[in-house]
Structure 1
Amino acid sequence: MPRRPAALRASISDHGLPDEYTQSPDIERAELARALSVAIDQIDRNLDDYYDRFPEPSSDNLTYSPTGNTDGWTTSFWTGLCWLAYEVTGDSRYRKAAEAQFETFERRLKSGEVKTHDLGFLYTLSAIAGHRLTGNDRYQSAAVTAADYLVDRFWEAPGLIQAWGDHEASEDSWERGRMIVDSMMNLPLLFWASETTGDPTYASIAETHARTNGQHIIRQDGSTFHTFKCDVDTGKPVGGETAQGYNASSCWSRGQTWAIYGYALAGDYTGEGEYVEIAAKLANYYLSKLEDDHVPRWDFDAPPDQDIRDSSAAAIAVCGLHELTCQLPFADDRTRFYRNAALSTLGSLATDYSTEDTESNGLLTDGAYDPSDGDYDECCIWGDYFYVEGLVRATQHWTRYW
């Protein structure tokens, strides 16, 4: 395929983007459709084992063990996979499984095991997806309740949603007043709640958190801290640290992709072009640091002897980049660029990181949950989910759950 005209390449270069993605990738739509079919077949094979149970967050020797839905942040990704399979195939078996799983999410709300910012992850892919696809009011009620619990974690002085722990913890708690970059993907629950209830409070809190996150977690060069703490009484910044990255000053690649996707979504919900431009800045940094096969190292600043990939970060990036193309003007030079980057990444995952023809019950190899704990080179359930969402985005007309 011929290269783009010089004037257009210069325009893209003005945004600090590498030349690689100015050309369309070789991956064909039929190849992606086949990859989606392979993924659906794997979901189908897992359905009996995980009908009303859930895969562990990360596999062991590429095999997930089952777990219940009493704590943690990842159970909804399996439910999200069931909803995606239902949409793609129309097979009611997947819907029935997702409905059975939803009952465990309802019980979790009643049990009070919801002291976490991850309510967006948990109830977007279980309750909001269920409501979008069935119209059942039970799903809507659960999602609004989850949004109420998330609002309770908001600190007004610094304008942030606390990530971990009890938000009423003692003043010397490490968690008190700490936000993390992952929280950008929990904000759609609040934006949705305002649209559904007509109460603007949810969206106001979501946008306030997005602004605070932008002020403190995003660095000048477009990289991100994993976590940042503020004084909850004065609102003053305390400083940035990491929990899963290499160190406080490094850039954890999965956190970077949470932010890309989260800001692209915030731009759509608010209509604010500023958030879309933030997503683009984050995407530019991410793409400038990628490996040749479009799958990042787990931390862009980790030393060479920690050359660990994270396919789950790449899968999130696919969805975030695609969403970014939906939010930029069609005539913007960057739209095709980000689309090419998303397709190149998706093609690499389907070709080189698929578990096809293995004994694994997951979908993607080389996921890195937490290399500092030795948890890498495995399947990660969120990576599997975003991989399938990316394939659906590339091959179907799909209305997102987020």
Structure 2
Amino acid sequence: MKFIFSFIILIASICQQPVLAQSKKEAGILVQIETNLRDAARQYEVMMQLVPPGQFPRTYNAGIDKFVTSNSSWWCSGFYPGSLLYLYKESKNKVFLDEANRMLGFLEKEKNNKNTHDLGFMMYCSFGNANKLNPSEKYKDILLTSAQSLSTRFNPTVGCIKSWNGKPGEYLVIIDNMMNLELLFWATKVTGDSSYYKIATTHANTTMQHHFRDDYSSYHVVNYNSQTGAINERKTAQGFSDASAWARGQAWGLYGYTMTYRETRDQRYLDQANHIARFILKHKNYPADGIPYWDFDADNIPDALRDVSAAAVMASALLELSTYSKENKKTYKAAAEKIIMSLSSERYKAKIGTNGGFILEHSVGSIPHKSEVDVPLTYADYYFLEAMLRYKSLVETGKI
């Protein structure tokens, strides 16, 4: 009788456990993700010892053993606290929360920075995640002030938020700017003030109209006339050429329109995200392992450098897009799984205790500027962590 009772208790407990994987493949990926997250925690424990007071991790130069940092006004400043918060969410290790809070203290003043379009990256990836974990009026006020600051860069004649401050009469907008709209959508939901929503959707619409070619590849930069909204030129800053498809730019577009569909449920944005995904995944130069060359049109493919940061952004975006696109669900999921497993390999993932504590190697910042070439980058780590946690959540909830 005792044995039967114990057996019944065992079966009941098993039945109450969440279904962590629906297939053998998913189970294997989840095991790898758990390993990656443990390794990431160990790496960031290393990194925490290298960060100078008031500075934010940017990259690491292995050739000269140099850990490179920035101040809080650099566009990447939000990714380190954001990554720490992802690690805390997963591990519940208070060390990561304490370090994130320390960094948020240095970052808070950027809420008033009206000289950058990157407040979404800087403030929503940091304080936005902090507010999700521990909602507070303080975080809310910081984020709303950030949204107000970002809104000041919107020009209704052009229909876009200005990215870079150019010459008189120029109005420079980069595809990256799609990523910063999430902060504005959040502000409308919290306040009920539709002005943020209107700015975000107007920017998305203008970008959709003028940034994309017929094949749904994206220009990096569109230079508008600030007085009339007419287009002066379309060009690149970080890509191979003005006519090329810079890999991270395609990733920003994919993620940006997927997110914009989530926030609006406007079919146009879902269609745009699907078009961009199709361009990426069907491209003749898209590698079998899912880690794109730094530019789809680089002149030395297959010897061109890969860009791990673009891959990480793509993986996270494709996972979310798979939940919206019924006809492409399996395709997007498989592509994201391929990227996650490739980034988990020795080719791209750093050994514990190396790489300045960064998780991933082999990202490309800007080859034309000879800046951050074939190095770890803080945003590659952030979006890799996001992709892995997103995958876990979607499998565990049965949404993928």
**How would you bin the TM-score normalised by the shorter chain?**
0.7 to 0.9
Contact 1:155 1:177 in 2 (8 A): no
Q: Give the drift of 1:390.
A: 1.1
Match of residue 322 from structure 2: 325
Letter in 1 for 2:41: I
> Structure 1 396/39 Cα, relative in aligned 2: closer, same or farther at 3 Å?
farther
Verify: 1:263 aligned to 2:257, yes or no. yes
Mapped to 1, the partners of 2:220 and 2:261 lie a distance apart of: 21
Report the TM-score, using the length of structure 2 for normalisation.
0.86
The structure with more radius of gyration: 2
Answer with 94-103 or 212-221: which moved more: 94-103
Contact 1:54 1:78 in 2 (8 A): no
Q: Give the drift of 1:315.
A: 0.5
Answer with 149-158 or 67-76: which moved more: 67-76
Of 312, 315, 320, the residue aligned with 1:315 is 312
Of 66, 81, 96, the residue aligned with 1:79 is 81
Match of residue 21 from structure 1: none
Structure with the higher strand share, 1 or 2: 2
Match of residue 173 from structure 2: 179
> Structure 1 267/86 Cα, relative in aligned 2: closer, same or farther at 3 Å?
same
Match of residue 94 from structure 1: 96
Mapped to 1, the partners of 2:97 and 2:182 lie a distance apart of: 23
Q: How many residues align?
A: 366
Contact 1:222 1:282 in 2 (8 A): yes
Q: Give the drift of 1:363.
A: 1.1
Mapped to 2, the partners of 1:225 and 1:189 lie a distance apart of: 23
Verify: 1:126 aligned to 2:122, yes or no. no
Q: Deviations over 1:207-227 (max 9, x none)?
A: 000000000111110100001
Contact 1:51 1:100 in 2 (8 A): no
Q: Give the drift of 1:69.
A: 2.9
Aligned-residue CA RMSD (Å): 2.3
Q: Give the drift of 1:40.
A: 1.9
Verify: 1:154 aligned to 2:154, yes or no. yes
Verify: 1:213 aligned to 2:225, yes or no. no
Q: Deviations over 1:48-81 (max 9, x none)?
A: 3338644443321276625353421001110111
Letter in 2 for 1:76: G
Letter in 1 for 2:321: L
Match of residue 15 from structure 1: none
Match of residue 164 from structure 2: 164
Of 348, 354, 360, the residue aligned with 1:359 is 354
Answer with 191-200 or 235-244: which moved more: 235-244
Q: For structure 2, which runs of at least 5 residues remain unmatched after alignment?
A: 1-24
Q: For 2:288, what is the secondary structure of its paired residue?
A: coil
Mapped to 2, the partners of 1:227 and 1:25 lie a distance apart of: 39
Q: For 1:72, what is the secondary structure of its paired residue?
A: coil
Mapped to 2, the partners of 1:336 and 1:52 lie a distance apart of: 45
Q: For 2:142, what is the secondary structure of its paired residue?
A: helix
Letter in 2 for 1:252: W
Match of residue 48 from structure 1: 49
Mapped to 1, the partners of 2:264 and 2:66 lie a distance apart of: 38
Letter in 2 for 1:225: Y
Q: For 1:368, what is the secondary structure of its paired residue?
A: strand
Match of residue 365 from structure 2: 369
Q: Deviations over 1:102-149 (max 9, x none)?
A: 111222335x4x401101100111211111111121111111111111
Match of residue 267 from structure 2: 273
- Percent sequence identity is 28
Match of residue 203 from structure 1: 197
Contact 1:147 1:190 in 2 (8 A): yes
> Structure 1 196/26 Cα, relative in aligned 2: closer, same or farther at 3 Å?
closer
Contact 1:56 1:64 in 2 (8 A): no
Letter in 2 for 1:198: G
Q: For 1:382, what is the secondary structure of its paired residue?
A: helix
Listed as ranges, the matches of 1:293-312 within 5 Å are 293-304=289-300, 307-312=304-309
Listed as ranges, the matches of 1:96-111 within 5 Å are 96-109=98-111
Q: For structure 1, which runs of at least 5 residues remain unmatched after alignment?
A: 1-23
Q: Deviations over 1:131-177 (max 9, x none)?
A: 111112111111111111111111111201110127xx632xxxx31
Mapped to 2, the partners of 1:257 and 1:145 lie a distance apart of: 28
Report the TM-score, using the length of structure 1 for normalisation.
0.86
Q: Which has the higher contact order (CA 8 A, sep 6+)?
A: 1
Q: For 2:207, what is the secondary structure of its paired residue?
A: helix
Listed as ranges, the matches of 1:240-259 within 5 Å are 240-259=234-253
Mapped to 2, the partners of 1:335 and 1:64 lie a distance apart of: 42
Contact 2:55 2:70 in 1 (8 A): yes
Q: For 2:344, what is the secondary structure of its paired residue?
A: helix
Mapped to 1, the partners of 2:66 and 2:28 lie a distance apart of: 29
Q: For 1:59, what is the secondary structure of its paired residue?
A: strand
Mapped to 1, the partners of 2:60 and 2:45 lie a distance apart of: 18
